[in-house]
């Protein structure tokens, strides 16, 4: 479904600043993990509510939330001390807040969205946090937030959104400061001097071997135009995949839900794109390092910067297609390599050179983002805008054990990708009903056919 009509803005956007003083003109150091080129875009979340949100209450609550979570109220700029790096100027200028009205569409119709993936945009020329509240003619509300990925990862964004929601739904008599305040100092992730790169780090290298035909096929794996696809897996689907991987090969032990889904989606992606069997293909996925750093300096659990590294599974395409457990084994093996020493080596590597990425999975299923109440009850939909660079694992509202995989693939391979995602799962439900919903993603990964 294409959304018709234009959003009407009766007033220009305003800046919402903190209610209390924050570290004025403090330049917050960004770690090498924060400042990676592929994070130079905003994390954009959309919430859809059937009820109305109080815009004034949201603005007041946002000002209160900024007191502890002050980096999004600052501005990104080039560092004065490190050439080519960024810092956050914590100047309390505030977030850009817009209010609009979209006529002729209901909250549930909006969820059908549009049929194009979202492209990353420039981020230095705008505040690191932008918000728009759009009221609908049905009385519902759409809340869209855009937080620069350089400022925080999914965990940090979730921490901020929960603090904002808490301030919006609490009385002024409540304690506005959280029991576990966010931690913003990035110096625990500073590189060592001199850098000590102790691993090969395939997650930041590009395979350049192979003949011209093979390399041409590799280029086509990401060739535009891209088509967003959403596939929702129920708990039964995930349990079946875990069982299949564990029983089919003795090399796959104790497969987690993430490992099973990552392997399945990776294999479906390769089968749909049909590259040469000899082509080495990679799967990257994010791993939280907050608990992996066991040596000093450590990261506290409330660290709200980018606290992840990329794990890299790699295989010949033909091996992935030939044996499903092979994909799960590769995912498990690369996870085992990520420890304190590996994380420090990544940081040092990024001090020496920037990296590039390939097919990447990022999971948002355990952050509680789908349960946040801003004053209108729980949303009927939560999800990020489709990205052209990530495959996202998202929670399913109404199914705490379900997962939606949202990914943009070359348009010519979209139908095949859906088909391979469904392959083997049709008979999972004992009652005969297929419990996997595969759909063309229409903007936000929630529509079903």
Q: Is the dihedral of CA 34, 39, 40, 43 positive or negative?
A: negative
**Nearest residue to 22 via CA among 87, 81, 66:** 66
Q: For residue 277, is it within any domain?
A: yes
Task: State residue 443's pLDDT score.
Answer: 31
Q: Decide if 385 is inside a domain.
A: yes
Together in a domain, 236 and 134 = no
Q: Out of 26-35, 67-76, 225-234, 419-428, pick the least confident.
A: 419-428
Angle between helices 257-273 and 235-248 (to 10 degrees): 80
Query: 179, 212, 236: which is the final residue of a domain?
Result: 179
Do 284 and 394 share a domain, yes or no? yes
Domain limits for position 28: 14-179
Please report which confidence band the pLDDT of residue 132 belongs to, taking 50, 70 and 90 as the band edges.
very high
- 149 tagged catalytic: yes
Ordered strands of the 141-148 beta sheet: 14-16, 95-102, 129-136, 141-148, 42-49, 381-384
C-alpha distances in angstroms, 185 versus 63, 154, 188, 384? 21, 17, 7, 27
DSSP 188: G
Q: How far apart are CA 308 and CA 154, in angstroms?
A: 10
Lowest mean pLDDT among 42-56, 77-91, 171-185, 271-285: 171-185
One domain for residues 124 and 240: no
Q: Which residue has better confidence, 55 or 4?
A: 55
Kindly state whether residues 244 and 387 are assigned to the same domain. Answer: yes
Highest mean pLDDT among 46-55, 353-362, 399-408: 46-55
Selected residue with higher pLDDT from 83 and 95: 95
Q: Residue 269: what pLDDT?
A: 93
- Checking if the pLDDT of 327 tops 90, the result is yes
* Predicted local distance difference test score (pLDDT) of residue 227: 84
**Structural domain includes residue 352:** yes
Query: Domain holding 425: CATH number?
Result: 3.30.559.10
Q: How far is CA 194 from the centre of its chain?
A: 32
Partners of 278 in the β-ladder: none
- Mean pLDDT in the chain? 83
Judge whether residue 324 has pLDDT over 70: yes
Q: Are residues 347 and 312 in the same domain?
A: yes
The answer to which of 12-16, 250-254, 321-325, 432-436 has the lowest mean pLDDT is: 432-436
pLDDT of residue 63: 96
Any residues with CB less than 8 A from the CB of 78 and at least 6 apart, and which?
84, 85, 86, 87
Q: Indicate if 257 and 163 belong to the same structural domain.
A: no
Which of 378, 384, 419 is CA-nearest to residue 400?
378
Cis amide bond preceding 237, omega within 30: no
Does residue 39 sit in the same domain as residue 159? yes
* Confidence (pLDDT) at 249: 67
Q: Are residues 209 and 145 in the same domain?
A: no
Angle between helices 324-336 and 257-273 (to 10 degrees): 120
**121 φ/ψ angles, rounded to the nearest 5 degrees:** -120, 170
Reply yes or no on whether the pLDDT at 158 is more than 70.
yes
Annotated catalytic residue 83: no
pLDDT value for 74: 94
Answer yes or no: is pLDDT of 212 > 90: no
Measured distance CA(342)–CA(49) in Å, rounded: 42
- pLDDT of the residue at 448: 22
Q: How confident is the model at residue 188 (pLDDT cuts 50, 70, 90)?
A: very high
Q: Which residues contact 316 (CB under 8 A, 6 or more apart)?
A: 277, 278, 279, 280, 281
β-strand partners of 382: 47
Between 348 and 383, where is the model more confident? Answer: 348
Residues 217 and 119 both lie in one domain: no
Residue 7 placed within a domain: no
pLDDT of residue 1: 41
More confident residue, 230 or 115: 230
Structural domain total, the chain: 2
Residues 168 and 103 in one domain: yes
Q: Tell me if 375 is assigned to some domain.
A: yes
Calculate what percentage of the chain has a pLDDT beyond 70.
80
Domain membership flag for residue 110: yes
Catalytic residue among 339, 373, 415, 429: 373
- Let me know whether 373 and 433 are in one domain: yes
What does each C-alpha distance from 102 to 108, 109, 110, 135, 446 come to in angstroms?
13, 12, 10, 6, 20
Least confident of 154-168, 211-225, 308-322, 414-428: 211-225
- pLDDT 10s digits, 385-403: 766 667 888 888 888 888 9
Of the listed 118, 149, 159, 441, which one is catalytic?
149
Same domain? For 129 and 267 the reply is no
């Amino acid at each position: 479904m294409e959304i018709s009509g234009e959003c009407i803005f009766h007033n220009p956007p305003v800046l919402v600043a903190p209610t209390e003083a924050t570290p004025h003109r403090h330049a917050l150091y960004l770690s090498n993990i924060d400042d990676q080129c592929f994070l130079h875009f905003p994390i954009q979340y959309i919430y859809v509510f059937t009820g109305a949100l109080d815009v004034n209450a949201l603005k007041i609550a946002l000002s209160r939330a900024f007191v502890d979570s002050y980096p999004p109220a600052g501005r990104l700029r080039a560092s004065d001390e490190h050439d080519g790096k960024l810092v956050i100027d914590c100047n309390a200028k505030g977030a850009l807040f817009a209010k609009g009205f979209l006529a002729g569409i209901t909250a549930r119709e909006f969820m059908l969205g549009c049929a194009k993936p979202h492209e990353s945009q420039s981020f230095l020329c705008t505040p690191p946090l932008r918000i728009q509240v759009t009221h609908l003619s049905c009385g519902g509300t759409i809340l869209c937030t855009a937080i620069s990925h350089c400022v925080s990862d999914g965990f940090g964004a979730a921490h901020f959104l929960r603090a904002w929601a808490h301030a919006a739904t609490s009385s002024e008599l409540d304690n506005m400061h959280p029991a576990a305040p966010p931690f913003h100092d990035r110096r625990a992730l500073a590189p060592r001097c001199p850098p000590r790169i102790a691993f090969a780090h395939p997650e930041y290298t590009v395979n350049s071997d192979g003949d011209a035909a093979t390399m041409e096929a590799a280029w086509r794996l990401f060739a535009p135009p891209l088509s967003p696809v959403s596939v929702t897996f129920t708990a039964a689907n995930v349990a079946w995949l875990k069982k299949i991987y564990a029983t089919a090969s003795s090399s796959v032990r104790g497969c987690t839900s993430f490992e099973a889904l990552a392997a399945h989606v990776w294999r479906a992606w390769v089968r749909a794109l049909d590259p040469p069997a000899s082509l080495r293909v990679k799967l990257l996925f994010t791993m939280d390092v907050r608990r992996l750093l066991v040596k000093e300096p450590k990261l506290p659990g409330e660290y709200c910067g980018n606290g992840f590294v990329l794990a890299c599974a790699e295989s010949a395409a033909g091996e992935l297609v030939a044996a499903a457990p092979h994909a799960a084994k590769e995912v498990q093996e690369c996870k085992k390599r990520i420890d304190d020493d590996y994380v420090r080596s990544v940081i040092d590597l990024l001090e020496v050179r920037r990296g590039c990425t390939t097919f990447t999975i990022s999971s948002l299923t355990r952050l509680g983002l789908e349960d946040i109440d801003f004053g209108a009850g729980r949303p009927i939909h939560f999800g990020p805008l489709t990205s052209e660079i990530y495959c996202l694992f998202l929670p399913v509202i109404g199914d705490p054990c379900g997962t939606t995989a949202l990914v943009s693939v070359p348009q010519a391979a979209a139908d095949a990708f859906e088909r391979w995602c469904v392959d083997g799962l049709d008979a999972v439900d004992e009652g005969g009903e297929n419990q996997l919903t595969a759909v063309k993603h229409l903007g936000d990964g929630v529509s079903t056919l």
